[in-house]
A and B are shown apart, each in its own frame.
Chain A
């Protein structure tokens, strides 16, 4: 296989790239500078914590898509401590380091 791949491959790349850009541009293009009605704007504000929580939770508590307390409790504790620190002091680096340190400490000790 050459370093340039196949023609089909390039169609796939172009398709995903163009389509993804259109999704990204969708509402920015339509709505920028226009204010949505307050209830819709409020729903959008609440959608942000909702979608990020939905992104995060499975990555913390699921192992290969399965709920497994014995495999994931170190990750749960690490995430709780990182989240607690972020809530208390904010910042990004410290919660990250703390979370990874706690995770590895628990994994090493058990």
Chain B
């Protein structure tokens, strides 16, 4: 390659990287309304639990996981021992191990720094956006740029909503039902991914099990439901293989 064509290729790659980043930004802007009600609640709860306004900010920035923040502050408020409050919050986040495992299979060659970045911004929304991107086969050359585009929207906005709750005690009127945008956004992401009977079976079984196990403590029902749904999906795989001799 000549120096000119090499420089040309590098500029093209930078351009593609930038396109991937902004595609990630666009993909995640729509999640913003769903962050508002929960972020405010988490900010208020953190201050009430005695973390202080800046503690609330730090919690949002560095834990960056709403349900576990809520569980942690709830336990602290209830006077639970510190270790118990932390452990309970962590159990809520165990589903992220599933995301971590699924994501690891999407990576080929990565540096340690890249792996740290993938891990740092791993939440429900960034994960499912990346799965959808992978499914559509977009930005295959720059998955991390797309992912960081998602994170560039979601992470600061999560901190911002928590800060509004912590410093201003802001609330959204319950009658707006803004928190309902959380399940709606996941429905919109996941439904187009359901293409095979096995996936549909896994989703239906997961949905039913998710409701049945909902009352299990610290959202462990979610993990149980994930196992049930996965097993049903694998069962559908096996049945299809046997009756049609086709691989899914």
Instruction: Please list the residues of chain A having a beta carbon within 8 angstroms of any beta carbon in chain B.
Output: 1-6, 8-17, 19-21, 23-36, 39, 41-62, 65, 67, 75, 78-79, 82-83, 86-87, 90-93, 95-96, 99-100, 103-104, 107
Contacts and interface: CB of A to CB of B under 8 A. Distances in A.
A57 B191 CA distance: 13
Interface string B109-138: 110000110111010100010010000000
Given A26-B97, A44-B101, A13 B58 contact: yes
Nearest to A61: B211
Question: Which of A15, A42, A48, A92 is packed against the most chain B CB atoms within 10 Å?
Answer: A48
A83 B207 CA distance: 14
Contacts of B89: 16, 19-20
Contact of A52 (B33, B177, B186, B205): B186
Contacts, number: 291
Main secondary structure of the interface of B (DSSP, over half): helix
Closest 10 CB pairs of A and B: A50-B229, A5-B52, A54-B210, A50-B206, A46-B233, A54-B225, A17-B62, A15-B86, A31-B104, A5-B55
Chain A contact residues, majority secondary structure: helix
B38 to A, nearest CB: 11
A54 B221 CA distance: 9
Contacts of B116: 25
Give the contact-size bracket for chain B.
35 or more
Contacts of A50: 202-203, 205-206, 225-226, 228-230, 232-233
Contacts of B78: none
